[in-house]
């Protein structure tokens, strides 16, 4: 599975670092053919994934939803791990301060 981050240019405000305890919010678009069943997000410097943060049973193929990272960390670089309904996984690192939309594709 390939991961394609897509930054929307209109209305995007980019700052080098979020303020302390500032939430990071982006839209997750599932353009893959599979449902997303788990989403793990952790600061790039962290040693583990933590808990699944997906607040719905699954993000259906073709659907989208907002993701909020409210961990209080003063960082922009996060590791993301996506688990699909068939058990396939995809991982990557993303600067979430510069991201408004993240798109999953096959």
- Residue 14: pLDDT band with limits 50, 70, 90: very low
> 29-86, pLDDT tens digit by residue?
999 999 999 999 999 988 888 889 998 999 999 999 999 988 877 889 999 999 999 9
> Assign residue 57 a region: left if phi > 0, alpha if psi is -120 to 50, beta otherwise?
alpha
Residue 32, in any domain of the structure: yes
Interatomic CA distance for residues 74 and 1, integer angstroms? 30
Prediction pTM value: 0.76
Does the pLDDT at position 4 exceed 70? no
Does the pLDDT at position 16 exceed 60? no
Q: Which domain holds residue 99?
A: 2-9+23-105
For 83, other C-beta atoms within 10 Å of its C-beta total 18
User: Residue 91: which CATH number?
Assistant: 2.60.40.2890
User: What average pLDDT score do residues 13-30 get?
Assistant: 65
**Closest CA relative to residue 71, chosen from 38, 27, 22, 26:** 22
Residue 15, in any domain of the structure: no
Residue 16, in any domain of the structure: no
Number of domains in the chain: 1
Residue 14, in any domain of the structure: no
């Amino acid at each position: 599975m390939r991961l394609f981050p897509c930054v929307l240019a209109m209305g995007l405000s980019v700052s080098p670092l979020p303020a302390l305890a500032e939430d990071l919010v982006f839209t997750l678009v599932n353009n893959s053919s599979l449902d997303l069943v788990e989403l793990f997000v952790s600061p790039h410097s962290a040693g583990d994934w933590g808990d699944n943060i997906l607040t719905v049973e699954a993000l259906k193929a073709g659907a989208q939803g907002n993701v909020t990272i409210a961990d209080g960390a003063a960082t922009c670089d996060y590791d993301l791990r996506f688990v699909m309904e068939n058990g396939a996984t995809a991982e990557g690192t993303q600067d979430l301060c510069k991201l408004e939309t993240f798109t999953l594709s096959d």
